[in-house]
A and B are shown apart, each in its own frame.
Chain A
Amino acid sequence: MRNPLNNTITGIKPSGIRKFFDIVSEMKDAISLGVGEPDFETPWHIREEGIYSLEKGKTHYTSNAGIKELRQEICNYLRRRFRLDYDAMKEVLITIGGSEAIDVALRVMLEPGDEVLLPQPSYVSYEPCVVMAGGKPVVIKLKGEDDFKLTAQEILDACTEKTKILILPFPNNPTGSVMSRDELAKIVDVIIEKDLFVLSDEIYAELTYGEKHTSIAEFPGMKERTIVINGFSKSYAMTGWRLGYAVGPEVIIKQMIKLHQFSIMCAPSTSQFAAVEALKNGDADVEMMAEAYDQRRRFLIHELRRMGLPTFEARGAFYVFPCIKGTGMTSEEFATRLLQEEKVAVVPGTAFGDSGEGYLRISYAYSIEKIKVALERIERFVKKYQV
C-alpha cells in the first residue's frame, strides 16, 4: 500500500506536554499550574446573551466574515482601547479563535520558501502553521537577559532576502514578557526598511500590568503591513466559545475571508452574538479579572524570588517564567521530577522552543489558595536540589 500520509505533516513534532498531561490526569492530589486558559468562567451576562440568541432561533450561518454588528463592535473596541482604526466592512474577519486567524493569515501570505521570523519562546502553533503554509520558520532566540523582548538587531541578524513575515508574539505566552511603546518604536524602522509584514498576536492585549498594551499597528507606516490577531478567549474568559478575529489591510483580509469561507464557512453564531455583548458591556469584567491576575502575579513573583529562583518581572498574560538553571537540571528534568516528587505540574520552557531551556512556565490562572499550596511544594523541591 502507498503511504497514506503527507510527509510535511508527519514531520511536524507532536506536542511537548503530552507526557505531562497523561501523568497529571492519572495522578491524585496533583496540582497543575500548567493551564493556558483563564480560571474564571465567562461572565454571566455574556453567557446569558448566547443563550438568548439560541432562544430567539439565531441558529443559522452568518456572513463569512462574521455578523456585521460584531465586526462594528470590534472596530469600536480597537479604536477605544488601542487607537486602531479599521473598516468593519473590509478589514475585519471573525475566526474560530485566534489560532485560525494565525493559520489563515500565514497561508494567504506565504509563497513556498518564504521565511518567517519567529521569536521564541512563544506559542507552539506558529511553527507548525508556518510549515503547513509552505514557509520556512527562522527562529530568533529571545534572551533571558533581555527579559525575552525582541530587539532591532535580532531582526536584522535573522533577515535574508527571503524573509517576508515577522511574527510578533507580545504580550508573550509563555514568558509573560511585553513590549512597551518605546521598545516597539525601536523595531519599527527595521521592519519597514526590510519590507516585512507583521503578524502581531495580541490575544493577551488586555492582560498587561503597568503600561497599557500598544499595538505595533498604531505606528505610522505599520498598519498597511500588519495583521493584528486578537480574540475573546483570554480577555473575556471565553476559550471554549472559540472566537477570535484578524484585522488588517483589505487586500490581505479579502483573501483570508475567501480561505475561511471554503474551510470554515463562518464562526459559530452563538459565540458571535455573545461576543457582541462582551464588547458592549464587558469592560468592567476585563478590569476585574486583570486586577485579580495582577495580584496573583505579584505574589507569585515575590514568592519564587524568595525561594531563590530568579524570576523577571513579567508584565503580561498570566504566566511567569522563573529560571531554574541554579538547580543544575534541565527544564524537562525539573518539570518531570517536580511532578513525580511533589505532584505539581508546570510546563518546561523548552515546550515553547529551545531558547526556553533553563526556564519553566508557571500559570497563575488559578485561585491564590491553589497557588499557595503549589508554591509550598515547589519550595520544598527547590530546597532539596538548589546548588
Chain B
Amino acid sequence: MNELKEKILRAIAKDSNIEADELAIRLGCSKDELTTAIAELEADKVICGYPTLIDWDKVSDEKVTALIELKVTPQRGQGFDKIAERIYKFDEVESVYLMSGGFDLTVIIRGKSMREVSRFVFEKLAPMESIQSTATHFVLKKYKDQGIIMQFDSDDERIQMSY
C-alpha cells in the first residue's frame, strides 16, 4: 500500500468525520488524489465502514456487553467459517473472532439487559450443534475502546506562554 493511503487510514481511524478539503491540506495532497484513494480503499474493503465510537454507558444504565468464549467442533470442509457465519448474522452480535489457545471463538454481544444476553446464549448459541461449551463474561466498565480513552479530556496543564 502506498504512503498516502496509509496516512489517510491513520488520520480517519482517529477521526472519520474530517472534511476532505482539510484532510487534503493536512496530508499535502490534492483533493482529487485523496478522494480517489479513499474510493479505492472502500472498494477493496480496506475501509469497511464509518461507525461512531459511543460510550453507551452514558446513554443508558441498562445496556450490557458480554464477551463469550466458545469451544467449537470444526466442521468437515468448512472449518470454523460456517459456524462463525451462523453466529455473526445475529444482530446482537458485535464482533466474532477466531482465536488461538484454550477456546475457538470470541463473540462480543451487546444486549438491552443481562437477561437478554443470557437468553441469547442459552437459547441461540449453546444449543447449536457444533458448540461444545460457552463461557460468558459480562463487561463491568469500559476504560478504553478502539484506542480511545472513555473519559473527559484532561485540561491543558502547560503554562500558557513559554519559549
What is A's interface to B at a CB cutoff of 8 Å? 17, 20-21, 24-25, 30, 32, 34-37, 39, 123-125, 173, 291, 295-296, 298-299, 302, 345, 347, 351, 368
Contact = CB atoms under 8 A, between A and B. Distances in A.
Contacts, number: 51
A344 B160 CA distance: 11
A39 B159 CA distance: 11
Interface of B: 7, 10-11, 22, 25-28, 156, 158-163
A32 B10 contact: no
A37 B162 CA distance: 8
A298 B10 contact: no
Given A295-B27, A298-B25, A298-B28, A35 B158 contact: yes
Contact of B22 (A123, A173, A299): A299
B160 A302 contact: no
A352 to B, nearest CB: 8
A37 B161 CA distance: 10
Given A39-B156, A291-B7, A291-B10, A299 B161 contact: no
Contacts of B161: 17, 20-21, 24, 32, 34-35, 345, 347
Contacts of A368: 26
B163 A298 contact: no
B21 to A, nearest CB: 10
Nearest to B11: A295
Given A17-B163, A345-B160, 17 more contacts: A20-B161, A21-B159, A24-B160, A24-B161, A32-B161, A34-B162, A35-B158, A35-B159, A35-B161, A36-B163, A37-B162, A124-B163, A291-B7, A291-B10, A296-B26, A298-B26, A368-B26
Identify the interface centre among B28, B160, B161: most chain A CB within 10 Å of its CB.
B161
Task: Return the 7 tightest CB-CB contacts between A and B, nearest first.
Answer: A295-B26, A34-B161, A21-B161, A32-B160, A36-B162, A302-B25, A36-B163
Contacts of A351: 163
A368 B10 CA distance: 15
Contacts of B160: 21, 24-25, 30, 32, 34-35, 345
Contacts of A299: 22, 25-26
A125 B162 CA distance: 12
Contacts of B159: 21, 35
Contacts of A39: 156, 158
A20 B10 CA distance: 37
A175 B87 CA distance: 58
Contacts of A123: 163
A111 to B, nearest CB: 28
A298 B158 CA distance: 24
- Most chain A Cβ neighbours within 10 Å, of B11, B26, B159, B163: B163
Nearest to A123: B163
Contact of A35 (B7, B10, B27, B162): B162
Contacts of B158: 35, 37, 39
A134 B11 CA distance: 50
Contacts of B22: 299
Interface centre among A124, A173, A368 (most CB of B within 10 A): A368
A262 B28 CA distance: 50
A205 B163 CA distance: 17
B92 to A, nearest CB: 34
Of listed A35, A39, A125, residue having the most chain B CB within 10 A: A35
